[in-house]
Amino acid sequence: MTTDGPRHDEQSRLSIGRFSRLTGLSIGALRHYDAIDLLRPAATDPTTGYRSYRPQQVLTGRLVASLKAVDMPLEDVRAVLAADDPVVRRTLVDQHRRRLAARSVGLHRMLHQTMHLSTTPTTTPTATSTTTPTGPDHQETDMTTNDDAVLDPATERALAVSLFNRVWALLEVPERSEDQDDELVGAAHASRYHWGRVGGRKEGAIGEWQISRVYSTLGRGEPAVHHARRCHSLVSGHGAELDAWLLGSAYEGLSRAYAVAGDRAVADEWRTKAVAQLELIDDPDDREIVQADIASLPR
């Protein structure tokens, strides 16, 4: 005795509730995806509107759920489902990954900008000052003999902040050009230079951390490690003077840099230190910044 094909297909169909549980998609979402022709049921009863799905559609439903879980737009989900070539599918997913990475950088930028606003003095030196702090330890240098060659401290600080923010803005760009990558490197180094003239050890360490982050993003391990180590050297041994979050960021930067350089074991060691340092960061906002950076480390 043989089983009739169409009848057997009807008997094996899944109710919308069962399909919802198997795929992780809500019933409301399934109705919406049907309406927009993204994920149509196998059949819809013309009288009751009852929807049913084939078992083979479960994998497609799970794929849709996975893509929506990472916030992929519906039109991009549609393109992934329509792509028969797995290479095309991977390309579409990778494009979305780069957009997410850029969005993540944007959130990090806002967190770090907020941190800078909270630590920037409410008053800045005037343009008539005769001395300006330089270097990581606020050593003063006489400006009276070379006024034409030195920016006033207020302008220098403004440049440092502007360039720092420009770096974050460029890191947010998902598909940077080669010229933008060059600008990214130049802006990070320039920001560090100006912070070195008007900032202290903290600003110097943050500048070195940002340069290391830039090189890590560009996949250049050797300079990433160099500047991460410079950041750590400015922070290490100054726990009483510098905030605990900065040491956590130094550990995180070293982990990221060594991961990019290909030294997985050392990267894991620094990541462990960064995670342990979280317990010593009292301010919840500061802890959130470091925790977010650790969460974005290459694994």
Asked whether residue 125 is domain-assigned, the answer is no
My answer on whether 142 and 285 are in the same domain is: yes
Residue 130 covered by a domain: no
Q: Which of 27-41, 55-69, 139-153, 213-227 has the lowest mean pLDDT?
A: 139-153
Residues 267 and 155 in one domain: yes
Is 154 in the same domain as 279? yes
Residue 225 lies in a domain: yes
Q: What is the CATH number of the domain that holds 227?
A: 1.25.40.10
- Residues 159, 287: one domain? yes
Residues 51 and 159 in one domain: no
In this predicted model, what pLDDT tens digit does every residue of 74-96 receive, in sequence order?
999 999 999 988 898 888 888 88
Indicate whether 144 and 285 sit together in one domain. yes
Residue 284: both structure tokens together = 């919840």
Instruction: Tell me: do 161 and 62 sit in the same domain.
Output: no
Res 183 pLDDT > 90: yes
Judgement on whether residues 174 and 65 belong to the same structural domain of the protein: no
86-90, 111-115, 174-178: the lowest-pLDDT one: 111-115
pLDDT value at residue 241: 55
How many structural domains comprise the chain? 2
- The whole-number pLDDT of residue 35 equals 92
Residue 160 sits in the same domain as residue 279:
yes
Would 248 be classed as within a structural domain? yes
User: Is 233 in the same domain as 112?
Assistant: yes
Residue-level pLDDT at 275: 95
> Which range marks the domain in which residue 12 is found?
5-71
Mean pLDDT, to the nearest integer, of 122-136? 39
| Closest listed residue to residue 254, CA positions, set 280, 275, 281, 274 | 274
* 263 lies in some domain: yes
Angle at 270 between CA 115 and CA 284, to 5 degrees: 30
- Provide mean pLDDT across the span 174-199: 93
Domain CATH for 11: 1.10.1660.10
pLDDT number for residue 115: 55
By the 10 Å C-beta count (0-12 exposed, 13-18 middle, 19+ buried), 67 is classed as buried
The structure's pTM equals 0.58
Residue 123 pLDDT greater than 80, yes or no = no
Mean pLDDT, the chain, whole residue set: 82
Residues 163 and 235 in one domain: yes
Classify residue 97: in a domain, yes or no: no
Domain boundary residue among 50, 71, 92?
71
Q: State whether 56 and 109 are in the same domain.
A: no
Picking from 79-83, 110-114, 206-210, which range would have the lowest pLDDT averaged per residue? 110-114
Would you say residue 19 lies in a domain?
Answer: yes
Task: Give a yes or no: residue 98 inside a domain.
Answer: no
